[in-house]
Amino acid sequence: MIVRSKPGFWDVAFAVNGSILPRIAPHLVAIALISVLAIFAAMEHPGIFARISAVPFTLIGIALSVFMSFRNSTCYARWWEGRELWGKLIIACRSFARQISTLEDDDRRVLLRGLCGFCSGLTARLRGEDEVAAIKPWSEIDVASVGPNPTNAVLNQIGLHCLMLMKRDRIEPIHYAVLEGQLTALSDVQGGCERIASTPVPFAYSLLLHRTALIFCVTLPFALAGSLDWWTLLPVLLVAYTFFGLDALGHQLEAPFGSEPNALPLDAMRRGIEREMLALLGERDLPAPIEPRQNVLM
Amino acid sequence: MIVRSKPGFWDVAFAVNGSILPRIAPHLVAIALISVLAIFAAMEHPGIFARISAVPFTLIGIALSVFMSFRNSTCYARWWEGRELWGKLIIACRSFARQISTLEDDDRRVLLRGLCGFCSGLTARLRGEDEVAAIKPWSEIDVASVGPNPTNAVLNQIGLHCLMLMKRDRIEPIHYAVLEGQLTALSDVQGGCERIASTPVPFAYSLLLHRTALIFCVTLPFALAGSLDWWTLLPVLLVAYTFFGLDALGHQLEAPFGSEPNALPLDAMRRGIEREMLALLGERDLPAPIEPRQNVLM
Amino acid sequence: MIVRSKPGFWDVAFAVNGSILPRIAPHLVAIALISVLAIFAAMEHPGIFARISAVPFTLIGIALSVFMSFRNSTCYARWWEGRELWGKLIIACRSFARQISTLEDDDRRVLLRGLCGFCSGLTARLRGEDEVAAIKPWSEIDVASVGPNPTNAVLNQIGLHCLMLMKRDRIEPIHYAVLEGQLTALSDVQGGCERIASTPVPFAYSLLLHRTALIFCVTLPFALAGSLDWWTLLPVLLVAYTFFGLDALGHQLEAPFGSEPNALPLDAMRRGIEREMLALLGERDLPAPIEPRQNVLM
Amino acid sequence: MIVRSKPGFWDVAFAVNGSILPRIAPHLVAIALISVLAIFAAMEHPGIFARISAVPFTLIGIALSVFMSFRNSTCYARWWEGRELWGKLIIACRSFARQISTLEDDDRRVLLRGLCGFCSGLTARLRGEDEVAAIKPWSEIDVASVGPNPTNAVLNQIGLHCLMLMKRDRIEPIHYAVLEGQLTALSDVQGGCERIASTPVPFAYSLLLHRTALIFCVTLPFALAGSLDWWTLLPVLLVAYTFFGLDALGHQLEAPFGSEPNALPLDAMRRGIEREMLALLGERDLPAPIEPRQNVLM
Amino acid sequence: MIVRSKPGFWDVAFAVNGSILPRIAPHLVAIALISVLAIFAAMEHPGIFARISAVPFTLIGIALSVFMSFRNSTCYARWWEGRELWGKLIIACRSFARQISTLEDDDRRVLLRGLCGFCSGLTARLRGEDEVAAIKPWSEIDVASVGPNPTNAVLNQIGLHCLMLMKRDRIEPIHYAVLEGQLTALSDVQGGCERIASTPVPFAYSLLLHRTALIFCVTLPFALAGSLDWWTLLPVLLVAYTFFGLDALGHQLEAPFGSEPNALPLDAMRRGIEREMLALLGERDLPAPIEPRQNVLM
């Protein structure tokens, strides 16, 4: 996630860090070259180009804006839902910790460290890293029998521990049900994150919009060159910047658990949970919060 | 579901697999032929065509974009809700499995295999296949008395098993309530999927938009041919590609449990659940996950 | 609900059944006549009409599209929420039936037939028919003391039966709470359906859009006749078809429990529930599912 | 709430009652006068006005439509959420009544009349009337110690009564939890209604749109007068009617608990609940339902 | 939050307080100066400017409107969700207070004052003020061991108190579960508010729109000056006012817990909760409600 204050005047003019500009610069250069080509062609053969009117391009451009706006709001909704799920993760960990505050210290240690292991495992799972290695420092899991879903195995261990506490009359049955409610919330978070990570916006949709935007920007200079001359560059580049920029940004937000600058700061949130859980276990020497590097918080 | 990485340059130019293009190619050819006709007619009778202005078409085109955008977001919402329901299915199965982890192995086997049977039955039901045959390998159901809803019958069996466990004091009443909460979630999933599968977007709505888009694309060349000459082909085909493409794509997303390339990968998700449930039962020899064929995951 | 497959080529050209066309045909004829009038007037007095430009009409038309799109999505949301509520009804009936599967047959019969009575009563209530008559075949209710809400009275009877089971120690208190959860879901369904049925989209909103659309379509020919001549008919009729069609369709979807072809198939869904409940009571001779008549499922 | 059937032909032409027209008539007259002024000015100084083009006004008008559409959907969402909350109120009252149906008549009388008092108090609170006076006929509350929130005090009394029933073993603890669930729903309703009533759409937003719409409508005649002559009046008045009408309607829907004709019928819904509760207490002489006056249901 | 009645005529014309105008005035002056520059340039070199057409600007302007509308609705949704969370806070405090009304006065005092401390701590946390200092007057927290999240520590204390009440058989286990439900709601509120406060709309998105709007407004005068002459100022300033105003307003709403005039009135809501809690503890001398200063309620 990019952490910057409101764009001020100079940012608007010159900000590169955090901007989508570097990503789409090659496209803009290509469109600029095509525009120059179109302008020279229009000077050579003014007759041909005079016939091309900008009116159908207005129609196509507005239609494209409407459809791109839908794609953008969809991608943003995915990104925001990812953040909501991680917010739910934080809330469930805190609530679970509060609800076991009368248990003995050994139980609390196992359970709260288990929650940290779950968060680490989930982060690794969503980023395609080694889940078992991420869980190991926090929770003992049997590598041999862990099955296809190590992160869920941690949750199963926590659930089993709670069931055993009920069986041994250390907690009331209703207390078990309350705790299990938080574990179900954690399952919801894992399932929801996996859903977002494994199900992109339909490929055909992205392709259709990407294609239409590209053809539109490539042909627009030919429609304007006849009447606008060198002024053609200004609207063409502004349109290309907006359309390509939104397309690239939508693509980044679509996968909110990735490693792009605009992805969600999973590491920072995970560390925040670890700090709170360890503090509740009485530790004073907490790991430091994760700070943004070059305005990017991971 | 089509599994491809972000469209690169050559994809944008040439990708056919995963594109909606093959589906709408005949329409585009027809529109191109009509455009050629319009262009020749405009050359023959320039007087008539000079009178037709593109302005009312801009109005109609933009109105159509606004309405098609609504239809598209509705169809996408149906597709995404289908995915959310299957995500809920995965979560409920995992949570149920966690909540019965202190039961004896025989009970766990019956219950977890029952969940697999429910998933198989639901897949078959949503795709119009033989539910009973799909359930058979996982769960014993009485074919004779199964009634009109075999998939729900599996859920009833699981529920009955839980009730019997409570009756025999093998689980606490509150534990029964917790388990039943997951079964209600599974009922929600089945009911929600049936709702999406049985209730399309109102036919009159699809028909109205389909008709308007068709008439618009067929008449657009006549409005442009007078002034654009052979250039007419470019905006007409771009508009037709966008409108027909979105219409066809919307139609595919509207029925997310079908067998179109953009449908949800029910088989892959069902197999994922089976693998997790079987691993929890201690099986080492899990069925392999389902892989995409030619970029399509079913 | 209209049950048809995807509109094919001939449907698009000629489908009348299931289309909104018959409903708005008189308006289209009127607009066509006004257009002819405008065309003749423009031929007689070309000077006057030459001054009218289509540009302000583009502005008004696009503004109208944006506002009509909002009305359409609102009406569709009401229709879809109605369907979601009936889906919830189906789910709650199934879950309730599962949760009472260890009760004695007499209790189950009274309770499940009570659910059927609730569904019948709700259907009658939403359609303004005789609720008591609809409930009678399924459940004994005291006509004299039934009060202003017979459908809710059935639910009260079911709730009272469950309370008595708890009082007599036939079910655990927590089991009562689980059952009552489903009854609350049924109350939600009734309350939600009544909300949709009794609270239309604000009248002033419908009137404003209806009026603007009408004035727009009536005056559009006068703006186009000066330049388009006989071609005026094409865009005017296309615009009128789209705007009047969406307006009429929105009006149908706004009241999803009515008797219009696009209303929800309450009878078919109610019958589906009855079939499932009766099958669970061991009946073999189930009433037949309701089939669509002339593509309309009620 | 305005209770009228679908606008028929004559309604569209002449309906005043239920229309937003009377509210905005002065503005329309002012705009008409300004238009006449602009037309005369354009006749006097055609040179100046010929330069003004309608194109930038198309841009501004469409931008304004997009933003007003957002404001409208926001205001409608507030109105509809208000209705949903009152639907939840009705459902919670019915469910609570069902859940106490085995209590003794005295308890039921106190509790159900308490619900009626809560509804009366909430209505008074939302409309800025005297809450204590509204509650008095239904429930005994201690005026001296009632604190800043009399409506919530009624709920506290009901909650205390339920707690006492549990303390005296008249109801099971789990039964108390079920009842308290409905009381929490009633708290949700009160809190939600207070939120809508006390938090308008940000003032700066309303002001910005109101101002832009006004400047747009005042200057539009000057842009059109040069080319359209007396025809200017038609598009200008149609645009002004739509924009001012939607603005005024949005303002009415924004405050759904007010006393405007489009506000929600709180009195009628409250009376409906009273009738159902009194019928459940065995009363035969129910207060009459509230009927609309001049098509307006309050 | 700005507390003003509906903008009347003079407000529309002259309101400054509560308007976004002062914030964007420098930008508008700059745009006006650029416009004057463009007009003089167009008078000097009419040949160059005559070539620039307004049509591509219409396209860009409408596309920009569509994208800005998305940003605006997103920012408004954040603001409204912030308000919903604080509404949930009010509801949870009231419900918790109702559910403990049979406890002894000492317990009630500790718990209800704890809720006030939670609200104060949350306010301070969201505004970056000193949490511990804000909590101190209400609740005893151990400053030394409070860890990184003092506000949550208050909640943990309340939860621990409830657990102890259950352990000592002063409340039923199910009663504990009911109370814990409200504490979980309070955790939801804290987590949700932290999510909104710590996760802005992606920086690249704001930057892209801000940049496009700025370039658009700066270049628009050059496109219009050729044909509109001094009239250029009117549409340019109206467009700049709308776009810059919505951009600035979106930026304010994006951070609903800040100290801008349009931020949510956290202090007033917190004080409202304190008044209700203290009144329930029997105090008569309540702190006064917070009043708006110069129309701004904080």
Spatial contact of E228 and E220, defined as CB atoms under 8 Å apart: no
Helix axes A55-99, E150-167, angle to 10 degrees: 40
**Which tens digits make up the pLDDT trace of C236-283?**
999 999 999 999 999 889 999 988 888 999 999 999 999 999 999 999
DSSP summary character for residue A50: H
Given a cut of 70, whether residue D10 has pLDDT beyond it is: no
With pLDDT > 90 as the criterion, what percentage of chain E qualifies? Answer: 66
Nearest to B183 among C20, C98, C228 (CB): C98
Segment A263-287 shows an average pLDDT of 94
Spatial contact of A52 and B228, defined as CB atoms under 8 Å apart: yes
Q: Please give the structure tokens belonging to residue B202.
A: 């109102």
Note whether A63 contacts B282, CB cutoff 8 Å.
Answer: no
Between the CA atoms of D202, D205, D206 and D212, what dihedral angle is there, to the nearest 10 degrees?
170
DSSP reduced 3-state for B79? helix
CA A145 to chain centre: 32
Start-end of H helices in chain D: 9-14, 21-44, 46-50, 55-99, 105-126, 131-135, 150-167, 173-198, 203-228, 233-254, 266-280
Q: Which residues of D touch E241 (CB under 8 A)?
A: 208, 211-212
Give the DSSP H/E element, type plus range, for residue D52: none
DSSP summary character for residue D229: G
CB half-sphere exposure, C189, CA atoms < 13 A = 28
Average pLDDT value for chain A = 90
Does some domain include residue D48? no
Size of interface C-D (CB pairs under 8 A): 186
A97 class by beta-carbon count within 10 Å (0-12 exposed, 13-18 middle, 19+ buried): buried
Ranges of residues in chain B with a pLDDT under 50 are none
**Pick from E105, E180, E104, E185: nearest CA to D167:** E104
Q: Please give the structure tokens belonging to residue A266.
A: 């999973």
Segment C192-214 shows an average pLDDT of 92
**Which tens digits make up the pLDDT trace of E120-152?**
999 999 999 999 999 999 988 776 678 899 999
With bands split at pLDDT 50, 70 and 90, how would you rate the model's confidence at D286? very high
Of the residues B80, B84, B91, B107, the best mutation for testing chain A's interface (the one with the most A CB atoms within 10 Å of its CB) is B91
Note whether D199 contacts E83, CB cutoff 8 Å.
Answer: yes
- For E2, phi then psi, to 5°, come to -85, 125
> CB D28: neighbour CB atoms within 10 A?
17
Note whether A228 contacts E51, CB cutoff 8 Å.
Answer: yes
E63 class by beta-carbon count within 10 Å (0-12 exposed, 13-18 middle, 19+ buried): buried
pLDDT at A203: 86
pLDDT at B230: 85
Of the residues D45, D49, D59, D85, the best mutation for testing chain E's interface (the one with the most E CB atoms within 10 Å of its CB) is D59
pLDDT at D157: 95
The letter for the amino acid at C81 is E
Does some domain include residue B276? yes
Give the DSSP H/E element, type plus range, for residue C5: none
Does some domain include residue E180? yes
What DSSP string describes chain A? Answer: -B---S--HHHHHH--TT-SHHHHHHHHHHHHHHHHHHHHHHHH-HHHHHT--SHHHHHHHHHHHHHHHHHHHHHHHHHHHHHHHHHHHHHHHHHHHHHTTTS-HHHHHHHHHHHHHHHHHHHHHHTTS-HHHHHTTT----STT-TT-HHHHHHHHHHHHHHHHHHTTSS-HHHHHHHHHHHHHHHHHHHHHHHHHH-PSPHHHHHHHHHHHHHHHHHHHHHHHHHHGGGGHHHHHHHHHHHHHHHHHHHHHHSTTSSSTTS--HHHHHHHHHHHHHHHTT-SSPPPPPPPBTTB--
Does some domain include residue B162? yes
Does some domain include residue A67? yes
DSSP reduced 3-state for C2? strand
Q: CA A9 to CA C46: how far, in whole Å?
A: 54
CB half-sphere exposure, A160, CA atoms < 13 A = 14
Count how many domains chain B has. 1
- For E296, phi then psi, to 5°, come to -110, 120
Contacts of A13 (CB under 8 A, 6+ apart): none
pLDDT at E52: 65
Task: Give me the domain span that covers residue A112.
Answer: 21-280
Q: CA D256 to CA B42: how far, in whole Å?
A: 57
**Which tens digits make up the pLDDT trace of A227-266?**
788 888 988 999 999 999 999 999 889 999 988 888 999 9
Segment D32-51 shows an average pLDDT of 84
Spatial contact of A182 and A95, defined as CB atoms under 8 Å apart: yes
With bands split at pLDDT 50, 70 and 90, how would you rate the model's confidence at E56? confident
Nearest to C102 among B69, B167, B184 (CB): B167
Segment E166-182 shows an average pLDDT of 96
pLDDT at E228: 80
Q: CA A166 to CA A155: how far, in whole Å?
A: 17
With bands split at pLDDT 50, 70 and 90, how would you rate the model's confidence at E82? very high
pLDDT at E11: 61
DSSP summary character for residue D101: T
Give the DSSP H/E element, type plus range, for residue D281: none
Nearest to D231 among C52, C147, C208 (CB): C52
- For D296, phi then psi, to 5°, come to -110, 120
Average pLDDT value for chain C = 90
Cβ burial E184-220 (10 Å sphere, 16+ → b, else e)? bbbbbbbbbbbbbbbbbbbbbbbbbbbbbbbbbbbbb
Q: Comparing C65-69, D14-18, D222-226, E66-70, which segment has the lowest mean pLDDT? A: D14-18
Contacts of C166 (CB under 8 A, 6+ apart): C172, C173, C175, C176, D172, D175
> CB E91: neighbour CB atoms within 10 A?
24
Q: Please give the structure tokens belonging to residue C267.
A: 């009878």
Q: Give partners of C (≥3 CB pairs < 8 A).
A: B, D
pLDDT at B128: 92
Spatial contact of C107 and C101, defined as CB atoms under 8 Å apart: no
Cβ burial B95-114 (10 Å sphere, 16+ → b, else e)? bbbbbbeebeeebbeebbbb
Of the residues B199, B201, B251, the best mutation for testing chain C's interface (the one with the most C CB atoms within 10 Å of its CB) is B199
Q: CA C105 to CA C87: how far, in whole Å?
A: 27
Spatial contact of A111 and A100, defined as CB atoms under 8 Å apart: yes
pLDDT at D17: 64
Q: In chain A, which residue's Cα lies nearest the Cα of E182? A: A95
Q: CA C231 to CA C241: how far, in whole Å?
A: 16
> CB D140: neighbour CB atoms within 10 A?
13
Spatial contact of E241 and E111, defined as CB atoms under 8 Å apart: no
Q: CA A22 to CA A235: how far, in whole Å?
A: 20
Nearest to A63 among B61, B91, B249 (CB): B61
The letter for the amino acid at E33 is L
With pLDDT > 90 as the criterion, what percentage of chain C qualifies? Answer: 65
Q: Please give the structure tokens belonging to residue C80.
A: 């879809």
Given a cut of 90, whether residue D131 has pLDDT beyond it is: yes
pLDDT at A42: 87
> CB E140: neighbour CB atoms within 10 A?
13
DSSP summary character for residue C145: T
Average pLDDT value for chain D = 90
C111 class by beta-carbon count within 10 Å (0-12 exposed, 13-18 middle, 19+ buried): buried
* C positions 227-286 inside 8 Å of B (CB): 227-229, 231, 234-235, 238-239, 241-243, 245-246, 249, 252-253, 261-262, 264, 272, 275-276, 279-280, 282, 286
The letter for the amino acid at B73 is S
pLDDT at B149: 93
**Which tens digits make up the pLDDT trace of E251-276?**
889 999 988 888 999 999 999 999 99
**Which tens digits make up the pLDDT trace of B136-174?**
999 887 766 788 999 999 999 999 999 999 999 999 999
Does some domain include residue A211? yes
**Which tens digits make up the pLDDT trace of C280-292?**
999 989 999 999 8
Note whether E206 contacts A7, CB cutoff 8 Å.
Answer: yes
Hey, which residues does A296 pair with through a beta bridge?
A2, A293
**Pick from E115, E191, E203: nearest CA to E157:** E115
Q: CA A249 to CA A254: how far, in whole Å?
A: 8
Nearest CA of chain B to the CA of A249: how many Å? Answer: 13
With bands split at pLDDT 50, 70 and 90, how would you rate the model's confidence at A11? low
Phi-psi region of B35 (alpha: psi -120 to 50; beta: other; left: phi over 0): alpha
Q: CA A61 to CA E57: how far, in whole Å?
A: 11
Spatial contact of E154 and E135, defined as CB atoms under 8 Å apart: yes
Does some domain include residue A62? yes
Given a cut of 80, whether residue A195 has pLDDT beyond it is: yes
Distances, alpha carbon A288 to alpha carbons A93, A137, B245, D45, E16, in Å: 19, 17, 51, 74, 46
Does some domain include residue E134? yes
